[in-house]
Amino acid sequence: MKAVLSSADISRAITRISHEIIEKNRGSEDIVLLGIPTRGIHLAERIGSEIGVIVGQSIPVGTLDITLHRDDLRSKPPRALTPTKIPSGGIDGKRIVLVDDVLYSGRTIRAALDALGEIGRPALVQLAVLVDRGHRELPIRADYVGKNLPTSHEEIVKVSIHEVDGEDQVQIAGSHE
């Protein structure tokens, strides 16, 4: 296991992403952050509160469970569902920012886009991830990236988030360990 992002690196990345979201959207109007379980939920909450501090008003943060839209359901036993919480304003006409920990094949995000389509019709959808490790299998890219991390397929990227794992850290485990 090699640490690639420390706790301080992660909080700097979240601050930067928060600023970038405001910059790209020219403010925080109509922005809704949706975290993808499990760790994306907490990242979305952190970004949400940072943006709240920067612009001086809180912005809606929710969660989006994608389990029922996955394309690999048939390869594993059934997965437990986690709650989908859409902020009271809904998502119609809003600027949605999906938040996840790692962007890899892009299949999770495809499922998230399908899940969103069932709930409503946003004005636009953007994607923020803490780590982009490459190896896309679908034409999907992130708008906001904490760190680009070139990896091989054999390597494992492990994101730890304080709310879930007790500490903030990103580690990478090599193929020969």
Partner 1 sequence: MSDVVTPVLKRHLLSIDDLTREQAILILDTADELARISDAPIKKLPTLRGRTVVNLFYEDSTRTRISFEAAAKRLSADVINFSAKGSSVSKGESLKDTALTLQAMGADAVILRHSASGAAHRLAEWTKGSVINAGDGTHEHPTQALLDAFTIRKHLNKNPEQNGGVGADLTGVNVAIVGDILHSRVARSNVLLLSRLGAKVTLVAPPTLLPVGVSDWPVSISYDFNNAIGECDVVMMLRLQLERMKSAFFPSAREYSRLFGLDMERLAKGKKSPLILHPGPINRGLEISAECADSADSLILEQVTNGVSIRMAVLYLLLGGADA
CA atoms within 13 A on the CB side of 48: 23
170, 13 in Cβ contact below 8 A?
no
Q: 39: exposed, middle or buried (C-beta count within 10 Å: 0-12, 13-18, 19+)?
A: buried
Q: How many Cβ atoms sit within 10 Å of the Cβ of residue 106?
A: 17
The verdict on 171 binding partner 1 (CB under 8 A) reads no
Q: What is residue 159's DSSP assignment?
A: E
CA atoms within 13 A on the CB side of 13: 23
The verdict on 68 binding partner 1 (CB under 8 A) reads yes
Which residues 96-115 are close enough to bind partner 1 by CB under 8 A?
108, 114
Q: How many Cβ atoms sit within 10 Å of the Cβ of residue 152?
A: 10
Looking at the Cβ atoms of 26 and 74, the one nearer to partner 1 is: 74
Which residues 71-100 are close enough to bind partner 1 by CB under 8 A?
73-84
Give how many residues touch partner 1 by CB under 8 A. Answer: 24
What's the CA gap between 118 and 112, in Å, rounded? 10
Single out the residue of 65, 128, 130, 131 in contact with partner 1 (rule: CB under 8 A): 65
Stretch that binds partner 1, among 13-21, 27-35, 62-70, 169-177 (CB under 8 A): 62-70
Whether omega for the bond prior to residue 38 falls within 30 degrees of 0, making it cis, is yes
x-or-dash pattern for partner 1, window 112-151, by CB under 8 A?
--x--xxxx-------------------------------
Q: What is residue 76's DSSP assignment?
A: S
Looking at the Cβ atoms of 4 and 119, the one nearer to partner 1 is: 119
Looking at the Cβ atoms of 31 and 115, the one nearer to partner 1 is: 115
Looking at the Cβ atoms of 59 and 91, the one nearer to partner 1 is: 91
- Site of interaction with partner 1 (CB under 8 A): 37-38, 65, 67-69, 73-84, 108, 114, 117-120
